[in-house]
Amino acid sequence: MPELPDVEVYVEHLRRRVVGQPLEHARIASAFLVRSFDPPMRAVEGKHVRSVRRMGKRIVLELDDDLFLVLHLMIAGRLRWRERGAKVPGKLGLAAFDFPAGTLLLTEASPKKRASLYLVRGKEAVDALDPGGLEPLTASTAEFAEALRRENHTVKRSLTDPHLFSGIGNAYSDEILWRAHMSPVRLTSKMTDEEIASLHEATKATLREWTERLRKETGDDFPEKVTAFRDEMAVHGRYRKPCPACGTPVQRIAYASNESNYCATCQTGGKLLADRSLSRLMRGDWPKTLEELEARKRASR
């Protein structure tokens, strides 16, 4: 799922291309995309784009007459900038938005059509679509602490809760926790003020660093390689690969359709966090440390 750095770069490129431009046509190819009905989608045609901004993981386009398009890409939604009048791709295409300078295509590489588009009138209607999470880059440490302690969850779950924090998902939460040297299952209610301050600094540093990386990687071209898995990441998507700080293999906790990736040496004092699926497979006989895990691997050879 595109997260804060990815969405921020999308927004910056859209501003350059569409602000001040009329939205000539909105071609909707998927009946599942549009989640609102009043105003009708044809109301945007001919309206000029006044601004583009990020709202959590959503992209908001403000148009004439107090109209707003609110787009959530979800997991597999992506944006493409093509020549004016480009066709909507037959298999993956959801919509096309035609401007004088080009066409913005919306695609989704998943059979589960989860991306959503709302057309609403007025800022109150836009605010109603905002989960309300705190913006981590502009929040004070006190505000960050208040949000983190609002509910007692694992820190991984809290960071990825859009009602608590804005724009952070599975990928960057892994990178944040690695930078903070913190276990993903640390309970927020047990975190000290010093730990929270360190986590806040790691959050800001990680999100800013990756936003800048993506800016440089994209340059003047529209972002085409938006992905949650990047070779330069420390732990996310790097199961069994060496941690860049200590060299020990990255571990993971798999659950539902997501997973947490972490370095046991850097984040949990060498302790392995039990993975539910493997714990069941091993009938509870789960190695507690990296040393035990390596010993079992050697014994099985």
Q: Rounded to an integer, what distance in angstroms lies between the CA atom of residue 136 and that of residue 268?
A: 24
Contacts of 147 (CB under 8 A, 6+ apart): 133, 134, 139, 158, 164, 165
> For residue range 134-185, what is the model confidence (pLDDT) as tens digits?
999 999 999 999 999 999 999 999 999 999 999 999 999 999 999 999 999 9
Q: What is the pLDDT of residue 274?
A: 78
Q: Rounded to an integer, what distance in angstroms lies between the CA atom of residue 43 and that of residue 231?
A: 43
Cis peptide before 242 (omega within 30 of 0): no
Beta-bridged to residue 187, according to DSSP, are: 154
Topology agreement, domain 4-127 and domain 141-218: no
CATH fold, domain 141-218, is Helicase, Ruva Protein; domain 3 (1.10.8)
Q: What is the pLDDT of residue 145?
A: 98
pTM above 0.95, yes or no: no
Identity of the residue numbered 33: L
Q: What is the pLDDT of residue 70?
A: 98
Q: What is the pLDDT of residue 285?
A: 54
Q: Hey, where are the domains in the chain?
A: 4-127, 141-218
Other CB atoms within a 10 A radius of the CB of residue 288 amount to 12
Q: Rounded to an integer, what distance in angstroms lies between the CA atom of residue 296 and that of residue 42?
A: 63
CATH of 4-127, one of 3.30.70.2500, 3.50.50.60, 3.20.190.10, 3.60.10.10: 3.20.190.10
Opening angle at CA 107, ends 231 and 122, nearest 5: 110
For 6, the token pair is 């990815």
Extract the residue ranges of the chain whose pLDDT is less than 70. Answer: 256-257, 275-301
Q: What is the pLDDT of residue 280?
A: 46
Q: What is the pLDDT of residue 256?
A: 65
What sign does the dihedral 245-250-253-255 (CA atoms) show? positive
Give the number of C-alpha atoms closer than 13 A to the C-alpha of residue 286, restricted to the C-beta side.
14
Opening angle at CA 53, ends 49 and 55, nearest 5: 135
Instruction: Using the structure block, give the residue that is written with the tokens 């609002």.
Output: 150
